Amino acid sequence: MEAVKGESPGRGSGAELLSGASVKALLDSVDAFLFDCDGGNPIAGVIWKGDKLIDGVPRTLEMLRSKGKKLVFVTNNSSKSRSQYADKFRSLGLSVAQDEIFSSSFAAAMYLKVNQFPPHKKVYVIGGEGILQELQLAGFTALGGPEDGEKRVQFKSSGFFEHDKNVGAVVVGIDPSINYYKLQYGTLCIRENPGCLFIATNRDSVGHMTDLQEWPGAGCMVGAICGSTEREPVVVGKPSTFMMDFLLQKYHINTSRMCMVGDRLDTDILFGQNAGCKTLLVLSGVTTQSELEDSSNRIQPDYYTGKVSDILELLGE
Amino acid sequence: MEAVKGESPGRGSGAELLSGASVKALLDSVDAFLFDCDGGNPIAGVIWKGDKLIDGVPRTLEMLRSKGKKLVFVTNNSSKSRSQYADKFRSLGLSVAQDEIFSSSFAAAMYLKVNQFPPHKKVYVIGGEGILQELQLAGFTALGGPEDGEKRVQFKSSGFFEHDKNVGAVVVGIDPSINYYKLQYGTLCIRENPGCLFIATNRDSVGHMTDLQEWPGAGCMVGAICGSTEREPVVVGKPSTFMMDFLLQKYHINTSRMCMVGDRLDTDILFGQNAGCKTLLVLSGVTTQSELEDSSNRIQPDYYTGKVSDILELLGE
């Protein structure tokens, strides 16, 4: 990783506050900007706060695109497909193309594609509609998902729970309609179908299903299947670097030419650093400047700034 | 552990086939016999096969009791209470007292008792009726269990999922009516109630809910809560040695004076050995003599015999 360390007098090494000079250096050194869309908090974020875009975001993104930068909006949300996610952006007044979105539902489908998953094999889904849609768009046959949410199991001693022997992968994401039927179906596929893959969209412990509270995340359903199968999954969402591998393969952009933009030190920034990306912390989210500068904080992004649109302001464009 | 190794010519160290002489030595050296009741297979076991008692079991148990031996029937099945388990024994023609049964549902209640869980605190249960019954018998207030099986969650952005702040422990066992409501309830208690305990009846990956198949076991539900809470549970059923600690405290029997009787090498026998018990493998279950004697097998019980009633036959009583 090509480190760009701060030079402010008195702070020694550490994050550098974005300036007119450093923003130019950053733009010259980077071909892709990866924006984290999963705020650590529903009312603080990188692109939006709650239901509102953060000021200046659309113009900033437009400028970056006009300079030929690839933009990627990254989310571990697997319940939506990219197209559903694009609708969400549009409803906020932001025009984002489907191929600028990298959701963990899409990541699961691309993982299978990149690894030449045989098209005659099927995929069983524990999770939302978004996963099914992305799998189908990629040409795969997907089973399960929301329609298995109302299925119940019968424990007759002579009964037999049938599962499809052609399932070659089980994809697990957040699933608010999780039940014993789905757990048994996924477990049987992984335990009994030879070579069956076990793919987790992500392992986030909790997420904001509602504004006021956190709810069990994909890590909950993934943990359940780990427990029943004694297997560990392949994780395709953050903090796995599958996304970077995919961008390298598809757009020939190396991680050293990517900049991860996020509002959390222990997830976004650490993830970007571990992948070998440059990192930019925005203070419009959960991290305050004093937390960043606290001596107990060991995670220093390359750059930090107040909000995404500072890129535009500092360039004077 | 006081090892009693085999002396059969040509086999070197290893398990000793139970004989008239060794059965006397075993009885003299042991004050408690722990019988595994969870067959590795529904049609092979230690005490019963399917719905039938194995020949000679009742007379053998009677003889052991008459010699003052404490008998303990050990099961990781948490869906039944000891009283429900005693009914099962009775239906098979075996009279077993409630305090001869050590189920993981009972273990959960005793863990709280031994650790002076405050009686004004409540316990949330993900699992079956057996856990609720044992908790109530031990004087605790239990919430959840089967009655939460039909509850559904609402994701209104202004809605709020309430949980009882007085819950001081969450007990998780096998739960065929697992749902997102229960997962959220247990997760909130563990994440938000200060000091809340997380207790697993056991972590068996699968179990025989029906004769023909395995189904996700308590390890599945426990894995889910591990995933959403980023916590590890206290396990009270096998292979935890909490049972031995409890027997020592209640009956003053040391593990070196206990003999674990089971039909599986990698669970029962290994568990007994790790706890410091003597071990007796019976071949009426899943393990064959050739598996026991195979050079790849590293787990050697102190003794082995065909079936439990051999103890009676060999004593000539």
Helix (H) or strand (E) holding B303, with range, is strand B303-305
CB of A158 within 8 A of CB of A164? Answer: no
Residue-range domain boundaries for chain B: 16-76+239-315, 106-235
Question: A-chain residues within 8 Å CB-CB of B191?
Answer: 206, 214
What pLDDT score was predicted for residue B49?
Answer: 83
Strand, helix or coil at B235?
A: strand
DSSP β-ladder status, A213-216 and A234-235: unpaired
Cβ contact, residue pair B176, A155, below 8 Å:
yes
H/E/C letters for each residue in B63-108?
HHHHCCCEEEEEECCCCCCHHHHHHHHHHCCCCCCHHHEEEHHHHH
In words, the CATH class of domain B16-76+239-315 is alpha beta
A86-137 confidence digits (pLDDT tens):
998 999 899 999 999 999 999 999 999 999 999 999 999 999 999 999 999 9
CB of A39 within 8 A of CB of A46? Answer: yes
Residue A5 pLDDT greater than 50, yes or no: no
B144-200 confidence digits (pLDDT tens):
999 999 999 988 877 899 999 999 999 999 999 999 999 999 999 999 999 999 999
- B191 shares contact with chain A (CB less than 8 Å): yes
A57-65 LR contacts (CB < 8 Å, sep 24+) = A57/A94, A57/A308, A57/A309, A58/A93, A58/A94, A58/A95, A59/A309, A59/A312, A60/A308, A60/A309, A60/A311, A60/A312, A61/A94, A61/A96, A63/A311, A63/A312, A63/A315, A63/A317, A64/A33, A64/A311
What pLDDT score was predicted for residue A158?
Answer: 78
What pLDDT score was predicted for residue A8?
Answer: 41
- Give the Cβ contact number of residue B240 at 10 Å: 20
List beta partners, residue B126.
B172
Largest CA distance in chain A: 77
What pLDDT score was predicted for residue A14?
Answer: 85
Structure tokens at B137: 């018998």
What pLDDT score was predicted for residue B302?
Answer: 97
Residue B40 pLDDT greater than 70, yes or no: no
The pLDDT confidence band at residue B16, using thresholds 50, 70 and 90, is very high
Task: Place domain A116-235 in its CATH homologous superfamily.
Answer: HAD superfamily/HAD-like (3.40.50.1000)
CA-closest candidate to residue B268, choices B258, A230, B50: B258
Question: Can B16-76+239-315 and B106-235 be said to share one CATH topology?
Answer: yes
Spatial CB neighbours of A265, under 8 Å, sequence gap ≥ 6:
A281, A287, A291, A292, A297, A299, A301
Mean pLDDT for the stretch of residues A268-292: 94
Cβ contact, residue pair B160, A210, below 8 Å:
yes
Owner of token pair 């609720």: B132
User: How far lies A112's CA from each of A118, A172, A234, B235, in Å?
Assistant: 9, 13, 11, 37
What pLDDT score was predicted for residue A40?
Answer: 58
Cβ contact, residue pair A225, B220, below 8 Å:
yes
The pLDDT confidence band at residue A198, using thresholds 50, 70 and 90, is very high
User: How far lies B148's CA from each of A195, A203, B124, B141, B165, in Å?
Assistant: 36, 26, 11, 16, 18
CA-closest candidate to residue B135, choices B99, B100, B171, B165: B171
Query: For the domain bounded by B106-235, which CATH number is listed?
Result: 3.40.50.1000
Question: A-chain residues within 8 Å CB-CB of B178?
Answer: 178-180, 183, 224
CB of A23 within 8 A of CB of A311? Answer: yes
Owner of token pair 């020949």: B55
What pLDDT score was predicted for residue B316?
Answer: 87
- B17 shares contact with chain A (CB less than 8 Å): no
Q: If you count them, how many residues does chain A have? A: 317
- Give the Cβ contact number of residue B26 at 10 Å: 20
Return d(Cα A104, Cα A217) in angstroms, integer. Answer: 13
More confident residue, A227 or A48: A227
Tell me whether residue B263 is annotated as binding: yes
